[in-house]
Structure 1
Amino acid sequence: MRASLIQIAVDEGESVDSRRERVASLVRDQAGADLVVLPELWTTGAFAFEEFGREAEPLVGPTYEVMAKAASDAGVWLHAGSIPERDEAGRLYNRSLVFSPAGELAASYRKIHRFGFDKGEAVLMGRGEDLVTVPVPGTTLGLATCYDLRFPELFRGLVDAGAEVLVLPAGWPERRRAHWTLLAQARAVENQAFVLACGTAGTHAGVPQAGHSIVVDPWGEVLAEAGSGEEILTVEFDPAKVAATREQFPALKDRVLGLETPGR
């Protein structure tokens, strides 16, 4: 499988419409890849909280239309990152979109763990409720977004649902970049799965972004890592390595489930 992670720089001087068209062109340039991944909230910037309401879209909105066409033009599976979604009741969500090479919506995921500690995204956006996996030729993707990376139980659920490649768009801040790399490797090792984590570059509402998109194999080895600026990170990997790793070192089979606290 050939995957391209497009680490987009969010420039506050660039309009959302212009960024959509620019990113669509970058996606079309990835024709020949199997999977293309975009970052979290790249239309607005993950920390531009005041923009969420102004730029929120319905599921089938401008970003959906442009990205569906780009996926079809390139003939790729496209994880189009996430958008600020406004539902029919006016509620906001951080919603990821995955398109097939035919430009059809294959899956969407509403972010479960919202960042902000009772501020920002945590109060502005609703919480998703469903784990989402996406079967693609040769493997199954498991979907997560940014802050989800800190919650291993979510990834265990995805693995139990059949995920072998964990795809995570993010808007991760530079000041916690060490955590980004550590957690991406940890999620790969503990789940014996590939992790494809695509971040943003630039500065979002005064918050410098980490960049450093990363691809990690089931043994925790870093196959590719981007720098801090806008960059396209392309890597080839064999999804069959997941089954081979789990057979060679069957740690997942040794899990003990249903443990209870003593005295209960």
Structure 2
Amino acid sequence: MKVAVIQLAYDDAEPIGERRERVAELVRMQRGHDLVMLPELWGATGFDYQKWEASAEPLYGPTVELLAGVARDIGSMVHLGSIIERLPEPGVEGRHLANTSVVLSPAGEPVAVYRKIHRFGFGAGEPKLLEAGGEIVTVGLPGGHTAGLSTCYDLRFPELYRRQLDAGAEVFLVPAAWPKRRVEHWSLLGQARAVENQCAFISCNTAGTHGGYEMGGRSQVVAATGEVLAEAGLDEAVLSVDLDLGAVARWREEFPVLADRRL
């Protein structure tokens, strides 16, 4: 499976409409890839919480509509990162916004929707403003393979990935807006999730600075063995990787550690 990871850089000065058009063109340039992946909240920004209410959109709003057209044009699956979704009605905690990922088929049809389960902010930011998701979500990939969906802060909670593993995941797809000052954790945890679950790992982080936070970049593609196949730096970049998902099953057979699980 040929994967393009678009590590997008932006700042607070770029209007969201212009950024959408720029992103659409970047995705369009990835024709020939089976899957194109974008970072978390690249429209609303990951840390400028004051913008979220104004930039919220319905699930099938302008971002999904625009990128669905691009997916059709290039015939690729597109993981659009995430948006601030305006929920049709308040959730169980009474909030009407969510951090929501959508995966589009090569025909531009939504094939998976994931709402971020673990909200970052320790009572402020996401926990204060957003409803938490509650569903384990997987999506089918070309070749009959299965991916598990999660977002950014979810990466710190290994039990989520065990649940995805048990749901058939062979690869984890993780968009993020992870800051530079904790980027070593980002790299380490991604590799750990790959090794402990014998799953491939594809992550797409943000670059640039927004909301006063310098972002960490270092998007990476990791094999199920833990080998880092590609890693970006701090700046905007596109990683293009031929990922052999058939190698996941071969590695699990060669080194059958998962068969020894007791808990």
* 2:119 maps to 1:114: yes
Which residue matches 2:44?
Answer: 44
Cα contact 2:47–2:211 (8 A) shared by 1: yes
1:195-230 CA deviation, whole Å, 9 max, x = no partner? Answer: 001000011200000001000101111000001011
Q: Give the match's secondary structure for 1:127.
A: coil
Structure 2, unaligned stretches of length 5 or more? 91-95
AA at the equivalent of 2:175:
P
Which residue matches 2:169?
Answer: 163
Which residue matches 1:84?
Answer: 84
Work out the CA distance in 1 between the residues paired with 2:257 and 2:197. 9
Report deviation, 1:123.
1.1
Identity %: 56
**Segments of 4+ moved more than 2 angstroms:** none
1:146-179 CA deviation, whole Å, 9 max, x = no partner? Answer: 0000000000100100111100000000000110
Cα contact 2:44–2:56 (8 A) shared by 1: no
Work out the CA distance in 2 between the residues paired with 1:28 and 1:83. 19
Which residue matches 2:93?
Answer: none
Report deviation, 1:137.
1.7
Q: Give the match's secondary structure for 1:256.
A: coil
Which residue matches 1:261?
Answer: none
Given candidates 174, 188, 196, the residue that maps to 1:190 is 196
Which residue matches 2:255?
Answer: 249
Given candidates 231, 234, 250, the residue that maps to 1:225 is 231
Please report the TM-score for the alignment, with normalisation by the length of structure 1.
0.96
* 2:3 maps to 1:3: yes
Cα contact 2:34–2:142 (8 A) shared by 1: no
Work out the CA distance in 2 between the residues paired with 1:3 and 1:52. 29
Work out the CA distance in 1 between the residues paired with 2:116 and 2:42. 15
Q: Any residues of structure 2 matched to 1:23-62 within 5 Å, and which? A: 23-62=23-62
Report deviation, 1:13.
1.4
* 2:147 maps to 1:141: yes
1:96-154 CA deviation, whole Å, 9 max, x = no partner? Answer: 01000000001110000000000101211010000100012221111000000000000
AA at the equivalent of 1:100:
S
AA at the equivalent of 1:19:
R
Given candidates 244, 251, 256, the residue that maps to 1:238 is 244
Report deviation, 1:89.
2.0
Count of residue pairs the alignment pairs up: 257
Work out the CA distance in 1 between the residues paired with 2:127 and 2:180. 20
AA at the equivalent of 1:45:
T
Which residue matches 1:104?
Answer: 109
Structure 1, unaligned stretches of length 5 or more? 258-264
Cα contact 1:10–1:44 (8 A) shared by 2: no
Cα contact 1:79–1:98 (8 A) shared by 2: yes
Work out the CA distance in 2 between the residues paired with 1:118 and 1:130. 21
Please report the TM-score for the alignment, with normalisation by the length of structure 2.
0.96
Root-mean-square deviation (CA, aligned residues, Å) is 0.7
AA at the equivalent of 2:36:
V
Report deviation, 1:40.
0.2
